[in-house]
Structure 1
Amino acid sequence: MDTCRRAVFLDMQGTLGGNGVDDISTFEFYPFAINAIKKLNQNKLLAIVITNQSNISRGYISQKDFDEKMNMLNLVLSKQDAYLDDIYCCPHTRKDQCNCKKPLTGLIDRAMKEHNIDLKHSFVIGDMGMSDIVLASNIGAKGILVLTGAGKGSLSEYRDTWANYEADYIADNVLEAVNWILDNK
Structure 2
Amino acid sequence: MCSPDRLVILDRDGVINLDSDEYVKTLTEWIPYPSAIHAISRLSRAGWTVAVATNQSGIARGYYDEATLNRMHAELNRLVSEDGGRIAHIAWCPHSPSDGCSCRKPLPGLLEQIGVALGMRDLKGSWMVGDSMRDLQAGNAVEAQPILVLTGKGKRTLDKHPELANSEDTTRIFDDLAQFADWLLEQ
Distance 1:106 1:19 in 2: 22
Deviation of 1:24 (Å): 4.5
| Partner AA of 2:20 in structure 1 | G
- Would the alpha carbon gap of residues 108 and 19 (structure 1) be closer, same or farther in structure 2, given more than 3 Å must change? closer
Q: TM-score, normalised by structure 2?
A: 0.87
Deviations 1:61-102 (A, max 9, x none): 001110122112222222222221111000111111000001
* Alignment partner, residue 106 of structure 2: 103
In structure 2, distance between residues paired with 1:72 and 1:92: 22
Q: 1:120 to 1:78 in 2, by over 3 A?
A: same
| Number of the residue aligned with 2:58 | 55
1:31 aligns with 2:30: no
Corresponding position of 1:170: 173
Q: State the match for 1:180 in structure 2.
A: 183
Query: 1:118-133 residue pairs with structure 2 within 5 A?
Result: 119-128=123-132, 130-133=133-136
Partner secondary structure for residue 107 of structure 2? coil
Residues 103 and 109 in structure 2, CA contact (< 8 A), matched pair in contact too = yes
CA distance in 2, matches of 1:168, 1:27: 28
Cα distance change of structure 1 residues 110 and 19 upon mapping to structure 2, 3 Å threshold:
closer
Query: Measured at CA, do residues 100 and 19 of structure 1 come closer, stay the same or move farther in structure 2, by a change above 3 Å?
Result: closer
> Is the partner of 1:121 in helix, strand or coil?
coil
Q: Secondary structure at the residue paired with 1:55? A: coil
Deviation at 1:182, TM superposition (A): 2.4
Aligned structure 1 segments of 4 or more residues deviating by more than 3 angstroms? 2-5
AA aligned to 1:51 is T
| Conserved? CA contact 1:4–1:116, under 8 Å | no
- Provide structure 2 residue ranges, at least 5 long, that are not aligned to the other structure: none
How many percent of aligned residue pairs carry the same amino acid? 33
Does the CA contact (< 8 Å) of 1:146 and 1:170 recur in 2?
yes
Give the match's secondary structure for 1:56. coil
User: Contact conserved, 2:41 with 2:81, CA < 8 A, in 1?
Assistant: no
CA 175–24 in structure 1, closer or farther in 2 if over 3 Å, else same = farther
Q: 1:4 aligns to what?
A: 3
Structure 1 residue 141: Cα displacement: 0.7
| Alignment length (residue pairs) | 180
- Computed over aligned residues only, the root mean square deviation of the Cα atoms, in angstroms, reads 2.3
Give the gaps of 5 or more residues in structure 1: none
